[in-house]
Amino acid sequence: MIDREILRGLLKICILSCAAEEDELYGMGLIERMRRCGFAVSPGTLYPNLNVMLREGDLLRQNKTVGGKRRIVYRISKKGREELRQTKGKLKTLDRIFGLTGKRRRRG
């Protein structure tokens, strides 16, 4: 079983990546998108993580009315975009060193 902290970090990377690609994110839409990518997450896991990311300033939140229903829309913040950029750089370095995707750099 994968450590909870690792999963929490992966979830944050996924959320930031999705938010960077789209203008607006809805919680349930995000859950569906992640399921299609093989990362099943429940509302009970996603929404507390979204709230932490809001408090940390990685995401912005806006209330919006769509089809007569109130919905919460999430967007990536400048801080979140910078954190994602730095994280991707670190992951690329780890991949080069440890071959996380099977493309390990040979020494010598």
Q: Which residue has the higher pLDDT, 84 or 108?
A: 84
Asked whether residue 86 is domain-assigned, the answer is: yes
| 16-58 pLDDT tens trace | 999 999 989 999 999 999 999 888 899 999 999 999 999 999 9
| CATH number of the CATH domain containing 35 | 1.10.10.10
Model confidence, pTM: 0.85
Has residue 107 got a pLDDT over 70? no
Q: Which domain holds residue 92?
A: 4-98
pLDDT reported for residue 33: 92
Listed in sequence order, the residues at least 6 apart from 34 whose beta carbon sits closer than 8 Å to its beta carbon are 14, 18, 40, 41
How many domains does one find in the chain? Answer: 1
Asked whether residue 105 is domain-assigned, the answer is: no
Asked whether residue 106 is domain-assigned, the answer is: no
Asked whether residue 39 is domain-assigned, the answer is: yes
Asked whether residue 108 is domain-assigned, the answer is: no
Asked whether residue 44 is domain-assigned, the answer is: yes
Neighbours of 51 (CB within 10 A): 12
Asked whether residue 15 is domain-assigned, the answer is: yes
Neighbours of 16 (CB within 10 A): 22
Asked whether residue 35 is domain-assigned, the answer is: yes
pLDDT reported for residue 14: 93
Which residue type does 63 have? N
Has residue 1 got a pLDDT over 90? no
End-to-end CA distance of the chain: 35
